[in-house]
A and B are shown apart, each in its own frame.
Chain A
Amino acid sequence: MIENSMKNILEDLSNLIIETHDIKINKQLAKILSIDKEKLIEIAKRILKNSNSRLVHEIAIDLGIDGFKIIQLYELFNSEGKAYHIGIESYFPREESKIPSLAAITYQANWAEREIMELLGIEFEGHPDKRHLFLPYEWPNETEAGLEEAKKIGFNVFPKPEPPNILPIGPYHPALLEGVFLRLKVDGETIIDADLKPGFNHRGIMKLGEERSYWRNLYLFERVCGICSADHTNAYVLAVENLFNIEPPDRAKYIRTLGIELERIASHLLWLGVAADLIGFKTFFMWCWKEREKAIDLLERLSGNRVTKGIARFGGAKRDLGKEEIEKMIEKLKDIEKSVKNLLDIAYNNSILRKRTEDIGILDFQNAIEYGAVGPVARASNWKIDVRHDCPFDAYSQEYTTWDVIVDNGKDVWARVIVRIKEIFVSIDICNQCLNALKNIKGEIVTSEKIELRKGEGIGKVEAPRGELIYYLMSNGEPIPYAVRIRTPSYRNNAIVPFILKGYRISDAPIIYGSVDPCMSCTDRVQIIDIKSGEKKIISLNDLIKRR
C-alpha cells in the first residue's frame, strides 16, 4: 500500500528529480529526492496537495565551501494511518543563498525558516514574517531585523512604546514558570491578538552536539529537557542506530519502551498539576504531583536515576531488570492506576474545573493539520497522529505490544485534559505488557554488533509526552557527527498558541497556553550567531570570568 502511493508520487515528480537516495527512519526507508532549488515550491505544493500529508521539518545544513543543503521532510499517511516519508533536498552555493520560502504556502514551515534565517543567514524569499525568532526583535536595528518589511506586509508588529491595551506576559510571570514572552492585545478582557516570542534560554545544544563524539552526545542530549530526557536519548540513539545500521535485541527494546512510557505517566501527571494550578486549583496540583512522585520512583527503580535516566545505549539499553524488581514494579503500577482513576473522578465531577476548560482554546481538525499540531494537542482535535502507531520504533509495533491511540473530538482544553489522562492508562497498560514480556524473554541487553562509522544520514523519531520528537544526524565518516538537528514537539505546538488564544478572555490565556504543554527548554536549544559579521564565536570560560 505504502509502496503504491510512493510510486505514484515518484512518477508524478519523475521529470523534476535529479537523483534519489534513502534515509532510514525507525524501521522504514524514506525516499530523499534531490532537485533544483527553483523547483522546491512546485514540488512542495504537489506533495502538500494530498489531504493527508504534513511537513515534518525543514532542515538546513552548512556544508562549508560547498554551500548549503536544505531538506524538507514530509510525512504522508495511507488509509490504515501508517506513515511514510518523502524528503526533498537541494544544494545551493553560498553566494546565492536566496531560496523561495515554503512558509508562504504552509504555516508549518514558519518557525523552522525563521530559525534558519537567523542561524545560517539563508534568506527565504516571500516569507510572511521575517522577524527574529530567538534574538530580540529589534536587534541590531529595525531594517536588518526585518521589522520594516513585516510592517509593509501588514503583519502584526507591536509598536513601541506599547499602548496600554497590550498586556505583557513574561518573560517573568507567575503563570509561566519558563522564560517566554507572550504579548496580548486586549479589548477590555477579550484577546484580539497575540504574539509569542521565545529565545530567553539559549544553550547552543545543537552546535555543541556537532563538536562532541557520538558517545559524549548521549549525555548532552539527555539534558535538552529534564521532563522527557529518556525520549531525547532514545530519539538520538535511534538516529545513530539508523545511521550505522544496528539493531538492538528485543529485551533492550522492552526496557527502552518501559522508560519512555513511565516518563509519559510522570510528564502527563506533572502537566495535569500545572494545568490545575493555572485555573487556581492548588489542591489538585499538589495531589497530581504526589502521584507523579510514584512514577518517578519507578523510573528510579528502572534506571537508577530520577531526572537524567540514561536508559538507551547504542544498540541496547544500559541496565537490566531482575525478576524481583519486575514484580515490585507491577505492584506499584497498580497503585498508580488506582490513584489516577481517583484523579479522573475528581476532574470529571468538579463542575468548576469543567466550566473553566470547556469551549476555550478551540483548535479545529483542519487548523490542527494546517498549523502543524503534534502530540496530544493534535489528538484532542480528532487527528489520529502518533509516532508510536504511524512509524513504530522499539517495542511499539504489533508483534511486541497491542494498544490504541487515544483521540478526542472535543477540540478544546477539556479534550486535551481528557486525552492526557486517558493516555496515562494506555501507558500503564503498555508498561504492564513490557514487564510481563521481560519476565519471559531472556538474552543480552546490548547487541554484540560493532559500530562501523560511515558517511550518511539517519533520523530518529519518537513520540515524546508532548508529541513527535525528531533527531536528524549527518555523518561524514568521522567519530563526530557533522550535523545535528533537533525538532522538538513544543517547537511546533508553541507556534500554534497565538491562533488558539484569539477571541478568548485574559482569564483563559494561561490555561489555553498551558494546554499545549509548553516546554521552553525544548524550544530554545539553539545557538546565537553574530549575523552582522557572519561569524560564530566560541567564548571560553576564562573569557567569561574576565568579562565579569
Chain B
Amino acid sequence: MIIEIIYFISLIIFNIFLSFIFLFLFRKINAKFQGRKGLLLIVPKDLRKTIGSTKIMQQFYDILKLFYKQTIIPKNSHKKIFIISPIISFILSIIIIPFLYFPIINDAQQKFLFIPFDLLIITYAIILIHIFWNIGAYASASPWAYIGIERSEKLNFFAQISFISSIFSIAILSNSLSLKEIVIKQDIPYILLNPFSAISFILFILVNFNLKPFDVSEIEVEIVSGPFTEYSGKLLGLIELTKTILFYINSILFINIFLKSGEFFSSIINLFLLLIFAGIFVIILSIINNIFPSYRIDQALKIYPILVIIFSSLSLMLSFIYKIFFG
C-alpha cells in the first residue's frame, strides 16, 4: 500500500516536471518563430554564475514566485467560491494524470487503467476544470472577468462539442471507452483512419488554451487576463500550475488516442517515442499560435462554430461508416 502511494506521488511529480519541459518547448518555439532567442537551454559561460547553467525550469520558477507573493482577495467577491474553485480545478488536473497511458506501466497503475470507462472520467474532468475556473472568476466581481467569462463560455460551448465528438468518434471506432484498450486495439494509428477527429481535438485545444486565433477569452491587450484578472499570489500560482498540467495532459492524450501512444517498437523506445510525438504536437500548436493574429469575439463566434460543426460531424460520420462496413 505504502509503495503504491509512493509510486503515485512520484508518478504525479514526474509528470508535473515533464509538463514544465513541454511548456519550455512551447515557449522556445514561439521565440524562434518570432526571431527571438527565448529561454536559454544552455546558458553562456560568463552568465552561469548569475543565472545558472540552464533555464529549462524557468516556467517552474515563474509559478513558484507567485506562491511567495501576497494573495489579494477582492472586497466585493464571494470569498469562499473565489478561493475554492482554483483548488478544485487543480485537484481535478492531478486526478487525470494516473489515467493517462504510458508504455511502461506499474501494476498499481494497471488498476486505474482497468476501469472500463476511464476515457469518460478524463473527458469530464477536463471540461469541469474549465467550468470551475469560470465559477471562481464569476465570484471575483470584476468587469473584465465578466467579459472574459462571457466570451469563454460562448466559445467553450462549441469547443466542448468538438472535444466530446472527437473522443466519441474514437470510442465508436475502437468499440471501447477504456484508454488502454483504445491504445492496444490501434493497428493503424487513428489519426490516419479518422483525421477529422484529430482536427476536432486540435480545435478544442485552441480554445481551451487560448491559442491564436481563438484566444479571445484571455487576450491581454483587450481584457487584461479575462476571467483571471482578479487572481493573484498563491491562487494565481495554482491556476498557472493547473494550466501547465492541463496542456501536458492534452498533448499526451492526443498521442495516446491518435498515435497509438507511440507503441510501435519495444517498450523502452516507446516512452521516448511518446514524448517525441507529444513534443512535435506541441511544436505544431506553437506554429498555429504564431502565424495568426487573434479574431475579434464576433468574428470568432462566426467562424469557430462552423469549423466545429463541419469537422465534428465529419469525424462522427466517418466512424459510423467504419463501424457499419468493417464491423
**Chain A residues engaging chain B, CB cutoff 8 angstroms:** 164-167, 173-175, 189, 276-287, 290, 350, 352-353, 355-356, 505-510
- A370 to B170 Cα, complex, angstroms: 62
| B50 in contact (CB, < 8 A) | no
> Scoring B residues 119 to 154 as 1 if CB is less than 8 Å from chain A, else 0, what string do you get?
000000000000000000000000110110000000
Query: Is A505's CB under 8 angstroms from B293's CB?
Result: no
Give the nearest-CB partner of A355 in chain B.
B299
Residues from chain A with Cβ under 8 Å of B216 in the complex: 507
Query: Is A507's CB under 8 angstroms from B224's CB?
Result: no
Q: Given the interface contacts A174-B221, A280-B212, does A352 sit within 8 Å of B293 by beta carbon?
A: yes
Query: Is B36's CB under 8 angstroms from A279's CB?
Result: no
Q: Which of A281, A284, A509 has the most CB of B within 10 A?
A: A281
| B297 in contact (CB, < 8 A) | yes
| B69 in contact (CB, < 8 A) | no
Residues from chain A with Cβ under 8 Å of B147 in the complex: 167, 189, 506
Query: Is B224's CB under 8 angstroms from A352's CB?
Result: no
Query: Is B290's CB under 8 angstroms from A283's CB?
Result: yes
- A431 to B163 Cα, complex, angstroms: 56
Residues from chain B with Cβ under 8 Å of A509 in the complex: 222
- A505 to B150 Cα, complex, angstroms: 14
Question: How far is the CB of A362 from the nearest CB of chain B, in Å?
Answer: 16
Q: Given the interface contacts A282-B290, A505-B296, does A510 sit within 8 Å of B222 by beta carbon?
A: yes
Query: Is B213's CB under 8 angstroms from A352's CB?
Result: yes
**Chain B residues engaging chain A, CB cutoff 8 angstroms:** 30, 33-36, 143-144, 146-147, 212-213, 215-216, 219-224, 290-299
Contact partner of A167 among B36, B143, B291, CB < 8 A? B143
Query: Is A352's CB under 8 angstroms from B295's CB?
Result: yes
Question: How far is the CB of A357 from the nearest CB of chain B, in Å?
Answer: 9
Residues from chain B with Cβ under 8 Å of A165 in the complex: 143
Query: Is B33's CB under 8 angstroms from A283's CB?
Result: yes
Query: Is B35's CB under 8 angstroms from A290's CB?
Result: yes
Total inter-chain residue pairs, C-beta < 8 Å:
82
Query: Is A280's CB under 8 angstroms from B299's CB?
Result: no
Contact partner of B293 among A167, A284, A290, A506, CB < 8 A? A284
Query: Is B293's CB under 8 angstroms from A173's CB?
Result: no
Give the nearest-CB partner of A354 in chain B.
B293
Query: Is A353's CB under 8 angstroms from B143's CB?
Result: no
Query: Is B295's CB under 8 angstroms from A164's CB?
Result: no
Residues from chain B with Cβ under 8 Å of A507 in the complex: 216, 219, 222, 296-298
- A384 to B199 Cα, complex, angstroms: 49
Residues from chain A with Cβ under 8 Å of B299 in the complex: 352, 355-356
Give the nearest-CB partner of A173 in chain B.
B224
Residues from chain B with Cβ under 8 Å of A278 in the complex: 221
Query: Is A508's CB under 8 angstroms from B296's CB?
Result: yes
- A510 to B213 Cα, complex, angstroms: 17
Residues from chain A with Cβ under 8 Å of B144 in the complex: 167
Contact partner of A505 among B213, B292, B297, CB < 8 A? B297
- A165 to B219 Cα, complex, angstroms: 20
Residues from chain A with Cβ under 8 Å of B290 in the complex: 282-283
Q: Given the interface contacts A277-B221, A280-B215, A507-B216, does A286 sit within 8 Å of B35 by beta carbon?
A: yes
Q: Which 6 residue pairs of A and B lie closest in terms of their CB atoms, listed nearest first?
A: A280-B294, A281-B293, A286-B34, A175-B221, A174-B220, A507-B296
Query: Is A505's CB under 8 angstroms from B298's CB?
Result: yes
